[in-house]
Amino acid sequence: MGILEEVIGAVVAVEGVKKLDPDASLLTEGIAAITGFEGVKVVGEHLEKKENDSSSTE
């Protein structure tokens, strides 16, 4: 995954927190940004692994 996808994940996570809690603190928004950034990496790695597993069994 590229940096653009990771940044988009962070922005989406922060916006989600703002929708759930409009009075969220800066710390909460920061934690959401880090989680979104790292979450995109984890999902990307999982999809790549799953794709490699399915191609190796065929």
Q: Provide the residue ranges of all domains of the chain, joining segments of one domain with +.
A: 3-57
pLDDT in tens, the chain (58 residues): 688 999 999 999 999 999 999 999 999 999 999 999 999 999 999 999 998 988 877 6
8 A C-beta contact, residue 35 and residue 14: no
The pLDDT, as a whole number, for residue 53 is 86
Token pair listed for 31: 């934690």
Prediction pTM value: 0.78
Token pair listed for 40: 């995109």
User: How far is it, in rounded angstroms, from Cα 1 to Cα 49?
Assistant: 13
Q: What is the largest CA-CA distance in the chain?
A: 51
| Other beta carbons within 10 Å of 26 | 7
The pLDDT, as a whole number, for residue 54 is 83
